Amino acid sequence: MVISIIIPTKNEETIIHQTVKNLQDLRKNNLCEIIIVDGMSNDQTIKFSEPYVDLIITSEPNRGIQQNKGAMLASGEILVFLHADTIVTKHQIKIIRKIKNFNWGFFKISFERKDLKYKFLAFCINLRSYLFNYATGDQVFCINKKFFKKVGGFPNYELMEDIKISSKLRKHSKPIIFKEYIKTSARRWENNGFIWTIIKMRILRLLYYLNVKPSKLKTYYK
């Protein structure tokens, strides 16, 4: 079984090598393919990615659209949607390959920072996922390609595309929550302030549930 790993990018030259280097053994043995869908980067993301991936395509900078484009061109039976600042190991990819009758799932999250506040944040995110059967993009969506097509893929949202697809997926099937922890960057919280980022994300989530358009929310997210 081939796993297709789809990575939406925009200006990720400083981290993209670290993201893909762990997967090269699997790629060389034809156990996974890596697809970069670049959202009009103006740095060296594409140049730095080329030696380590199977396909690079360009797109407008919209994560929902980018991930759908990658899925359309993927040859694997399972689609793994990986953010550029998140690390998934070859061991974790092998775990996905072993599961039978798989519809969708995601991983528990941990942060590269080991501060107590980040451990607590990860605990809260993982608890929420366990209680409500949904995930955010940092938790690495793993979706059977046929099931992905059945639910219509990601919405063409610039923001909240992960929340929407979680809602669609769980209406049809309960997710598998893998016991392993992926590691993601804390850069959003570090750059914008830990407390303020949490407050802002709660406000944006509330506005989304009140039917504010994701394109408008994106202006507040930046």
Convert the pLDDT of each residue in 2-51 to its tens digit.
899 999 999 999 999 999 998 999 999 988 999 999 999 999 999 999 99
The mean pLDDT of the chain is 94
Query: What does the alpha-carbon distance between residue 57 and residue 158 come to, in Å, rounded to a whole number?
Result: 18
Query: What does the alpha-carbon distance between residue 204 and residue 209 come to, in Å, rounded to a whole number?
Result: 9
Q: In what order do the strands lie in the sheet with 78-81?
A: 55-58, 32-38, 3-9, 78-81, 141-144, 104-111, 176-184, 86-87
Angle at 18 between CA 186 and CA 72, to 5 degrees: 95
Give me the mean pLDDT over the 100-115 stretch: 94
Report how far apart, in Å, the C-alpha atoms of 129 and of each of 49, 69, 73, 112, 119 are: 31, 26, 29, 20, 15
Domain boundaries, the chain: 3-188
Model pLDDT, residue 130: 95
Model pLDDT, residue 101: 86
Convert the pLDDT of each residue in 117-175 to its tens digit.
999 999 999 999 999 998 999 999 999 999 999 999 999 998 999 999 999 999 999 99
Query: What does the alpha-carbon distance between residue 180 and residue 28 come to, in Å, rounded to a whole number?
Result: 24
Confidence of residue 65 (pLDDT cuts 50, 70, 90): very high
Q: Are 178 and 107 in contact (CB under 8 A)?
A: yes
Which CATH class for the 3-188 domain? alpha beta
Residue 222 pLDDT exceeds 70:
no
Query: What does the alpha-carbon distance between residue 156 and residue 91 come to, in Å, rounded to a whole number?
Result: 31
Give me the mean pLDDT over the 104-113 stretch: 96
